[in-house]
Amino acid sequence: MISHLGVGFMHLLARLPLPWVRTLGRWFGQFLYLVVWSRRRVVDVNLRLCFPQWSAARRRQVTKEVFVHVAQSFFDRAWLWHADPDIVRRRIVLTGALRELAGNEPTIVFAPHFVGLDAGVTGLTQQVPRRVTGIYTPQSNAVVDEWVLKGRHRFGGAKPLSRNAGVRVLVASLRAGDLMYLLPDMNFGPDESIFVPFYGVPAATVPSLSRFARLGRAKVVPVITRLTPTGYEVRVLEAWTGFPTDDVAADTALMNERLQGWIDEMPSQYYWVHKRFKTRPPGEAKVY
């Protein structure tokens, strides 16, 4: 019942002006910052490891902004998934090298975990005339799972593929001309990861970007989404040249290095609430 009420609330929220939605997100984010101390500590540890030059006051300010942006992006799902399509189109602005997404050439969209990632996939599926394939992890709550699945695949004939679908199915979809929306910059544990530097700290990182690019003979096009006062800017960057190579570890390290540059542009919009350094190299102490 609570889940159904929550989904109903998001339907109602979709009808409100965007400034009202963002104000609600700011209030809720500030509330979460005050009460969810365990996750607040995760953000602080991440920032301390990645930005050791920052003062405690700087880390505290960015941590507060992270909670606000995460909450605002969550409430934005209301209009992303339920508002009139014309409203969605006006609020999501695609910029940059849009030609990289044209045609049927095998293409992987590298979409790092900025808070606007749901707006990114919505913008692409609505405004790019090409089917988008995403790797989908089912939610534990059936009602929420159905809501998320429908919302993220609202436009453009987007096709969700389970993480358990297998490499062959994913590569076949890529070679068939689908855009693969890939988000490999998280810690999925030691079994699926290799250790490469992230802001100079060894981080368990999934090497799927390099492997899928090689198996699918695909180009990699980064797409960076920024939350703005009027909605979101979805910036399509130039395809990477000379990628992938025969060195998966070097490719994955390069991915993290380039990601750092985009994070430096808007550090409070990265998903620092994730335990990025939960998996540690053998013999190294836990950090959370």
Q: What is the pLDDT of residues 1-49, one digit of tens each?
A: 787 788 888 899 999 999 999 999 999 999 999 999 999 999 999 999 9
Q: Tokens representing 171?
A: 């590569």
Helix boundaries (H) for the chain: 2-13, 18-35, 37-50, 56-82, 85-91, 117-127, 142-152, 167-175, 208-215, 248-265
Residue 163's pLDDT is 65
Sign of the Cα pseudo-torsion (187, 188, 189, 192, in order): negative
pTM: 0.93
The overall average pLDDT reported for the chain is 92
Residue 80's pLDDT is 96
Say how far apart CA 85 and CA 256 lie, in whole Å. Answer: 34
Examine the pLDDT at 164 and tell me if it is beyond 80.
no
